[in-house]
Amino acid sequence: MKTKSIMKKLLLFTVVALLGLTATNAQVKLGFGVGYAIPSGDIADITDGGFSGHLELGYGITEDIDVSVFVHGDFLTGADKGLLSYDTVAFGSYMVNGRYYFKKEGFRPYGSLAIGITDIAQIEAATNGTRVAAAARTSNFSFRPALGFKYGILNVNASYLNAGEIGEGDGKATVSDFAFNVGLLFTFGGK
């Protein structure tokens, strides 16, 4: 019993010590950005480029690594294909993002990876005045690698979003895009 008590105290001391070390460098991150999205995959056949935007709230674990909750939305303008005229395709991603900075100060290039869920809205098209549903709304596992840089509060990145597939059978289509975003990323606390 005495050994268990000592082990519990040692574990508690270790946890408190580690929390104390990370708390002295704690950094809260708040960011947002807008940009241009270029469709890729099968969705590129029925859409043109469009708007991309994101919002993130995170925590700087160290000066080099931060983790954030990342909300990302893309709105791709519909295109004409044959007799069909497709509407705008919208999808929203809810992700956890990890970012690693390659430099500690000044111009700070980084790489990041976000994983989560992307909700793709129903895709509709019109032909001769009649509206048809081309694919039902769906949610998929998604991932988003990105490369960028932070300079002061300026945050610039290029990313690739793979949002899985929509549709069924022969109507299946892959949904992905490349986005170029410019935004602001504020850091509160820490050094």
CA 133 to chain centre: 27
- Confidence at residue 80, expressed as pLDDT on a 0 to 100 scale: 82
- Answer whether residue 132 shows pLDDT above 80: no
- Answer whether residue 177 shows pLDDT above 90: yes
36-53: pLDDT as tens digits = 999 998 888 888 899 999
46: exposed, middle or buried (Cβ count in 10 Å: 0-12, 13-18, 19+) = buried
What type of residue is 155?
A: N
Q: Which two tokens stand for residue 70?
A: 């990342």
- Paired residues of 98 in beta bridges: 67, 113
Confidence bin at 172 (pLDDT 50/70/90): confident
In this structure, the strands spanning 130-135 and 138-151 are unpaired
- Answer whether residue 191 shows pLDDT above 60: no
- Confidence at residue 40, expressed as pLDDT on a 0 to 100 scale: 93
Share of the chain above pLDDT 90, in %: 52
3-state percent helix, strand, coil for the chain, nearest multiple of 5: 15, 65, 15
Confidence bin at 127 (pLDDT 50/70/90): confident
Confidence bin at 128 (pLDDT 50/70/90): confident
CA 25 to chain centre: 25
Determine how many CB atoms are found less than 10 A away from the CB of residue 190. Answer: 14
CA distances from 154 to 12, 97, 108, 112, 129 (A): 40, 18, 10, 16, 46
Domains, the chain, with CATH or none: 26-188 (2.40.160.20)
Average pLDDT over residues 162-187: 89
Least confidently predicted of 56-60, 94-98, 124-128, 177-181: 124-128
Determine how many CB atoms are found less than 10 A away from the CB of residue 184. Answer: 13
Distance CA 101, CA 109 (A): 6
Q: Which residues contact 127 (CB under 8 A, 6 or more apart)?
A: 83, 84, 85
Confidence bin at 28 (pLDDT 50/70/90): very high
Confidence bin at 23 (pLDDT 50/70/90): low
